[in-house]
Amino acid sequence: GAFTGAVDSRKGYFETVNGGTIFLDEIGEMPLGTQARLLRVLETGEFIRVGSSKVQKTDVRVIAATNRELLDFTQTGKFRQDLYYRLSTVPIRVPALRDRKEDIPLLFRKFVIDFSERYKTSPIYLDESARQLLVEHLWPGNVRELKNIAEQISVLSNKETISAADLRRFLPEKTMNRLPMLAPHQNGSTGEFANEREILYKLFFDMKKDVTELKKMFVEILQNPSLAGAAAQFTQESLLHDFPATTDINAHVAAQQPVYAAPQIVPANTQPVLLHEHDIQHHEEVEESLNIMDKEKELIEKALKKHKGKRRDAALDLGISERTLYRKLKEYNIEE
């Protein structure tokens, strides 16, 4: 392509492998901008070199690999959904290495032989105990971790036959044991919590209902004084009697009963208080003036009254000059 610093022409991957197969590893880590360009190549078979305006054609077979869940990435916006369905024409899921234990000794043997042939060394061998330990390992890094262990032992070990003790020195300690067991889910405690929550919701709802009824009753008494004699009078003793100080929540949860007692109407022993219409004070809300000139006039009058008509002291208190105060007095017709 043509770009700054380019001294000769160089073909890209898709142009080089035209008519062949290209392998894209770790496709899940591809940036979104590159995903858009790859999608165009897959759909139309066309690409444009960097700095060029000429459209070129290519015909390649694409094999992509990843250890991520691309379908989850499409939901979070990290991977294009259209590109995912374009690539997943023939999906092949390869199980983790720990799920195909029969392949572990074979792969280990292959990596050891490849290493010995490359560096002209004698291949190492595993005894039965080492082979068993190799199979029981969890291999969180899958095949790459297995290859790394095989090469480490080939380089660092001075023995041709490796025992379990020798192999254990090369395996990570944190992954030698089995995965930790998850704590069992305690359905009982969760169910109890749900029941208690429902009881609390019902309690709050009934309390709100009682308050609404009390408000309604009070309004009716105010509107009709003749109903005051039949009004309910709640005392502190009656409320304490209706609401016990201690409540066994677990017992109520087990019995599926609310942990409250509804207040009862207690007849009043004393003479009821009659409310008359003239006893109720009606306050009319007077709208306050927000005019700046009215407020300024009010402040000037208060300052003059505070300082007994002394303009100098009033002006000093107001933060204005005496001359300005004199002009304001004339403007608002304020008598000193």
Those residues with Cβ within 8 angstroms of residue 320's Cβ, 6 or more apart along the chain or in another chain: 328
Residue 231 · residue 222 · CB < 8 Å: no
The span from the CA of 40 to the CA of 48, in Å, is 10
Query: If residue 126 lies in a helix (H) or strand (E), which one and from where to where?
Result: strand 125-126
Task: List the CATH code of the domain at 13-87.
Answer: 3.40.50.300
Those residues with Cβ within 8 angstroms of residue 12's Cβ, 6 or more apart along the chain or in another chain: 1, 47, 49
Task: Quote the DSSP letter at residue 282.
Answer: P
Could you tell me the sign of the dihedral formed by the alpha carbons of 86, 89, 90, 95, in that order? Answer: positive
Best CA proximity match to 108, nearest among 150, 138, 74, 54: 150
Residue by residue, DSSP assigns 128-196 as HHHHHHHHHS--TTHHHHHHHHHHHHHHH---SEE-HHHHHTTS-GGGTSPPPPPPPP-HHHHHHHHHH
Helix (H, G, I), strand (E, B) or coil at 44: helix
Helix (H, G, I), strand (E, B) or coil at 19: coil
Six token digits for residue 197: 């929550």
The residues that bridge with 328 in the sheet, in sequence order, are none
- The CATH classification of domain 292-332, taken from the options 3.40.30, 3.30.310, 3.40.1700, 1.10.10: 1.10.10
Asked whether this chain's domains 97-175 and 292-332 adopt the same fold, the reply is no
Six token digits for residue 224: 């009709």
Return the domain boundaries, the chain.
13-87, 97-175, 222-267, 292-332
Q: Which residue has the tokens 């300082």?
A: 307
Region class of 51: left (phi > 0), else alpha (psi between -120 and 50), else beta? left
For residue 210, what pLDDT is reported?
81
The span from the CA of 60 to the CA of 17, in Å, is 7
For residue 322, what pLDDT is reported?
87
For residue 32, what pLDDT is reported?
93
For residue 226, what pLDDT is reported?
64
Six token digits for residue 192: 């109890």
For residue 332, what pLDDT is reported?
84
Task: List the CATH code of the domain at 97-175.
Answer: 1.10.8.60
pLDDT averaged over 10-residue windows placed end to end, the chain, 336 residues = 59 89 93 92 88 86 92 93 92 91 95 93 93 94 93 91 94 62 45 58 72 80 65 47 47 46 49 50 53 83 89 88 87 81
